[in-house]
Structure 1
Amino acid sequence: MSALVCVARIGAAHGVRGAVKLWTFTEDPFAVRRYGPLLAKDGKRQFEVATAREAKDHLVATFKGVTTRDEAERLNGVELYVPREKLPATDEDEYYHTDLIGLAAVTTDGETLGRVLAIHNFGAGDIIEIAPPKGATMLLPFSNAVVPEVDIEGGRVVIAPPHEIEGEERGETLAPSRRRESGDP
């Protein structure tokens, strides 16, 4: 079986007849109904969506075989997965996170930076997390400027690290902390 991709997470029970809140991670929230049985992370439990309707920021769904609130409550927090091959093909410059995680990260000069650990989105755009061989991970914008090349077949992403700002004293390199007004120390 191919890699599993997380497509949804079950939330709290909704009502008394086995419905749950369902947060989907797909472009079309209702796509979870088209993938066939959804799997728990361990691959041992399967869930088939019986009904789904749109709510404010999630779906309200029922699963075949889940008919009571108690059964629904026990599912809270379960992540649902599908095999990678069941997902639709991506457009150019679109990637599934699972396809990027583990790729080598190199600079535009070919210097090894580490491996792609994760892709995050905290609301202001995608962030690529690079785990170097030693030291703390790096969080960089996942943009064309910073990641000019993604070569899945070649197993790497090319990173153009943003330029650092030269400090005024002793030439040390500083990360920007705040915008300074004239006259500020």
Structure 2
Amino acid sequence: MPAPVCVARIGAAHGVRGAVKLWTFTEDPLAVKHYGPLLTKDGARQFEVTHVREAKDHLVATFKGVSTRDEAERLNGLELYVPRERLPETDDDEYYHADLVGLAAVTTADQPLGKVIAIHNFGAGDIIEIAPAQGVTMLLPFTNAVVPTIDIAGGRVIVELPSEIEGEDGTSPEL
């Protein structure tokens, strides 16, 4: 079963009637209201968007059953997910970040680096996290220069290692 896809993160309470700031990770920010109930990652809780409007750099949303500021404040920081099958299909050259988790990561010289375990964004751009068979995970900028090829059908991503972590012969160091 495909992993659920994170489509939004709840921020601080907005006002006194249970509204929250909502940051979406969808191409169309307002599409979040059309995916049906939004779930926590473990699926234990679900939220139905009852109203949403655009704000400066986020949305302001209300959820069914959340009507006070105190209730809204307890939701701060929750990430909201939907099952992969509820999302639109991607074009041939598109993918969801969740589609990359579990793929093999190899260098441009076809040397194994490990497996993709996550794509993160801490505010300055996407970062790909790769776990080698042994050793410490690598966090690399997820850009076209560092990850020039994504081959979902082939089950791998090709990584152009920055020169400071690449061996002298152009291969990956012992990991």
Superposed pair shares fold, TM > 0.5? yes
Match of 2:79 in 1: 79
Matches within 5 A, 1:141-160: 141-160=141-160
Match of 1:178 in 2: none
Cα shift at 1:139: 3.1
Q: Which runs of 5+ in 1 are unaligned?
A: 166-170, 172-185
Q: What letter is aligned with 1:64? A: K
Match of 1:59 in 2: 59
Match of 1:133 in 2: 133
> Over alpha carbons, which structure has the higher Rg?
1
User: Any idea what the Cα deviations from partners look like across 1:63-93, whole Å, max 9, x if unmatched?
Assistant: 1121222222222222111001111222344
Q: Distance in 1 between matches of 2:27 and 2:46?
A: 22
Q: Distance in 1 between matches of 2:52 and 2:65?
A: 15
Match of 1:95 in 2: 95
Q: Distance in 1 between matches of 2:131 and 2:86?
A: 29
Cα shift at 1:149: 2.4
Instruction: Return closer, same or farther for 1:43/1:121 CA change in 2, 3 Å cut-off.
Output: closer
Tell me whether 104-113 or 140-149 shows the greater mean CA deviation: 140-149
Cα shift at 1:164: 4.7
Q: What letter is aligned with 2:136? A: A
Confirm whether residue 105 of structure 1 aligns to residue 117 of structure 2: no
User: Any idea what the Cα deviations from partners look like across 1:109-161, whole Å, max 9, x if unmatched?
Assistant: 32211111222345554332222223333333434443332221222112232
Match of 2:39 in 1: 39
Q: Which runs of 5+ in 2 are unaligned?
A: 169-175
Q: Distance in 2 between matches of 1:158 and 1:135?
A: 20
Instruction: Return closer, same or farther for 1:40/1:156 CA change in 2, 3 Å cut-off.
Output: same
Q: Distance in 2 between matches of 1:17 and 1:144?
A: 44
Match of 2:68 in 1: 68
Q: Distance in 2 between matches of 1:120 and 1:16?
A: 32
Q: What letter is aligned with 1:30? A: L
Aligned-CA RMSD value: 2.4
Match of 2:16 in 1: 16
Instruction: Return closer, same or farther for 1:67/1:124 CA change in 2, 3 Å cut-off.
Output: closer
Q: What letter is aligned with 2:99? A: D
Q: Distance in 2 between matches of 1:123 and 1:16?
A: 28
Match of 1:48 in 2: 48
Match of 1:115 in 2: 115
Q: Aligned residues: percent identity?
A: 78
Tell me whether 23-32 or 71-80 shows the greater mean CA deviation: 71-80
